Structure 1
Amino acid sequence: MNFKVLSLIALLAGFAGSACAAEGELSIGTEGAYPPWSMADAAGNVTGFDADVGNLLCTKLQMKCHFVVQAFDGLIPALKAKRFDVIISGMSITADRKKEINFSVGYADLANMFVVPKTSDLAGIKDVDSLLKALDGKTVGVQTGTTHAHFIEKRVPKANLKTYDTLDNLQIDLASGRVDAAFADASALQDFLAKPDGKDFQFVDVKIPGKFDPSLGEGLGVGIAKENTDLKAKIDKALCALVADGSIGKASKKWFKSDISRPCD
């Protein structure tokens, strides 16, 4: 056997070894800056509800988790570019997103709410229609690329919409008075209200469920590339089992003090 043939065999063996090394690992894209859903420390370690869901899923699939931190509005482009296998980042299933990627079955639901200063004329409103009308002309802060941004654009077109790359930056502007209201899921905003900066703020007592408007999505799902149909089938089966046995509900109670898990249809 000549040297060229030996070199070719060695090269192919190297490729085979690389492929085998990738087997059994699930790379997960997540934001890492949206507490208590996803928090990444300086070393890249990810904690939060999204991390717990990812780890539960990997255990069920008998795979090893590897988290990749990515800005929320870059998650879908990065998935399509194959930077990771799936997205687990509190991402709602929407019609627009389904044009780009596939989603697993929904595994959790959100309660969407506004936070305003306690002195705001919005603070005492108790119904959705009155709240949306009162938001006309107000400056409303949302995170870029979220269902909350799409909802305000659609339902309150006369509001002054300000978008932020992270929830932290939105909350900084809320605390400093640069926005009149912040709109996000209640669990994420609860974290702000528990901080010293949030002491003069409150929820508007109006929960807006996803079913109120299609722009808010169809529950939370795992984002999966369209061509990865086998992986989607495995993830769907695993998620349904994790919801049914209470694992996802237990994780949500840990982070949100309530069960936001969504049973499979």
Structure 2
Amino acid sequence: MRIALRIALAASAALLTLGAAQAQEKVVKIGTEGAYPPFNNLTADGKLEGFDIDIAKALCDEMKVKCEFVAQDWDGIIPALQAGKFDAIVASMSITPERKEKVDFTDKYYNTPPGIIAPKDSDIKGVTKEDLAGKTIGVQASTTHFNYSTKTYTDSTIKPYPTAQEYQLDLENGRLDAANDDVVVLQQFLDSPEGACCKLIGTIKPVEEIHGPGAGIAVRKGDNDLREKLNAAIKAIRANGKYKEINDKYFKFDVYGGES
């Protein structure tokens, strides 16, 4: 009887251990920048918030896994993914051929155009190479916007910054003639007290070879299981209204863009 009891207890312990292991497997670590509002931002009390964060939480809920978020500087975010610091990047990362050599991407989860802002008293009239000739343009480094600026505005001085907030501060203080970024990020700055200095000059037609088809979620090369689960979850929240609920919390238009 005691032997049977021991066997039963051992079996129960094994099941509990297996259950704990399975529960641990259901945690997905999400890397994000935390310095790109309204998409992702780290608050003063250390909390991550924004469109990317809410989308990631909705996707994890759809996949029935637990999300854990990790804040990571933009310049090191792909190496950190490759090193296993987290399982996926949800940080408004544009899908580009260069990045696809290092990571795999899901389908897009949003796609908004770039734009140019400048001080309100600026003489800049448009967003072409000629319009920006001789000007100093601020842009976040290691982004599609930086790549576009350096390739397009060859008669301008392109000044890279680690974060969007830093070029915004220099623009506010008169140390830049213009800035290039996602139009939603630019508009949020313009709507803030600090952004009262400036105006939107116009939007830029995206160049797919540079800007890609939109922002996607990056996973490690070959992690097809997670990528396909995320793709299915993106489609599900688009269909069940959760995407729209999150979209409408932050924006007055559908940031997903045209169907693809």
Match of 1:155 among 152, 155, 161: 152
Q: Note closer, same or farther for the CA distance 1:64–1:262 as it changes in structure 2 (3 Å cut).
A: farther
Amino acid at match of 2:132: L
Amino acid at match of 1:36: P
TM-score, length-normalised on structure 2?
0.88
Per the TM alignment, residue 39 of structure 1 is displaced from its structure 2 partner at its CA by 1.2
Counterparts of 2:258 and 2:33 in 1: how far apart (Å)? 25
Match of 1:240 among 219, 235, 241: 235
> Which residue of the partner structure matches residue 208 of structure 1?
204
> Which residue of the partner structure matches residue 171 of structure 1?
168
> Which residue of the partner structure matches residue 219 of structure 2?
224
Q: Note closer, same or farther for the CA distance 1:90–1:157 as it changes in structure 2 (3 Å cut).
A: same
CA RMSD for the aligned pairs? 2.1
Amino acid at match of 2:134: G
Partner of 1:91, secondary structure, is strand
Contact 1:25 1:66 in 2 (8 A): yes
> Which residue of the partner structure matches residue 107 of structure 1?
109
Match of 1:71 among 70, 73, 81: 73
Aligned length: 246
Whose radius of gyration is greater, 1 or 2?
A: 2
Per the TM alignment, residue 244 of structure 1 is displaced from its structure 2 partner at its CA by 2.7
1:154-199 CA distance string (max 9 Å, x none):
1112221111111111111011111110111111112211222221
Residues 1-265 of structure 1: pairs in structure 2 closer than 5 A = 19-122=21-124, 124-125=125-126, 128=127, 131-204=128-201, 206-210=202-206, 212-262=207-257, 265=260
Give unpaired runs (5+ residues) of structure 2.
1-14
TM-score, length-normalised on structure 1?
0.86
Q: Note closer, same or farther for the CA distance 1:118–1:256 as it changes in structure 2 (3 Å cut).
A: same
1:79-136 CA distance string (max 9 Å, x none):
01110000000111011110110000112111211110111111x33xx5xx222212
Amino acid at match of 2:47: N
1:219-253 CA distance string (max 9 Å, x none):
11001111211111111111112223332233122
Partner of 1:179, secondary structure, is coil
Counterparts of 1:57 and 1:179 in 2: how far apart (Å)? 39
Counterparts of 1:104 and 1:115 in 2: how far apart (Å)? 30
Contact 2:29 2:87 in 1 (8 A): yes
Contact 2:33 2:72 in 1 (8 A): yes
Identity of aligned residues (%): 38
Counterparts of 1:203 and 1:26 in 2: how far apart (Å)? 38
Contact 1:106 1:264 in 2 (8 A): no
Counterparts of 2:244 and 2:214 in 1: how far apart (Å)? 14
In terms of fraction of residues, the more strand-rich structure is: 2
